[in-house]
Amino acid sequence: VLSFIIFICYIASLAASFMMAPLLEFLLALFLFFAYASKLNEKFKGVHWPLADFLRCITAAVIYFAISIAAVSKYNDGASKAAGVFGFAATIVFAVDFYITFNDLVTFLKQGSSDSPEGGKTE
């Protein structure tokens, strides 16, 4: 929802060149939401879903932080400032999501290493 609000703010602002990042992030978040809601993560075991979500969180936080600084410092209209403020809020939200997803990723990777046949070796 925050990505969509930022997208709308960038459309209405002078910083319209930044609108592609929130749009792509919104669509990617929507895809992952529907993938988890429809249990695609259980059907397609070849895709590392926690890793995909982890990388999405990292890139979104970095990109939102960068374009928010540019929107707030370079443009003077209200919509650009609002998009920048919402972008900083999105950076915080994605950083929290990054932390939560990191814990899920560590659990996921530990499960994968416990299934390996190396545990059965004896000296």
Model confidence at 74: pLDDT above 50: yes
With a pLDDT cut of 90, the percent of the chain lying above it is: 34
pLDDT recorded at residue 103: 84
> What is residue 105's DSSP assignment?
H
C-alpha distance from residue 5 to each of 1, 10, 13, 72, 100 (Å): 6, 9, 12, 16, 23
Q: What is the DSSP string of 39-85?
A: THHHH-TTS-HHHHHHHHHHHHHHHHHHHHHHHHHH--SHHHHHHHH
pLDDT in tens, 17-70: 888 999 999 999 898 889 889 988 788 877 777 788 888 899 999 999 999 999
Q: Which pTM was predicted? A: 0.76
Read off the pLDDT of each residue in 1-25 and give the average, rounded to a whole number: 89
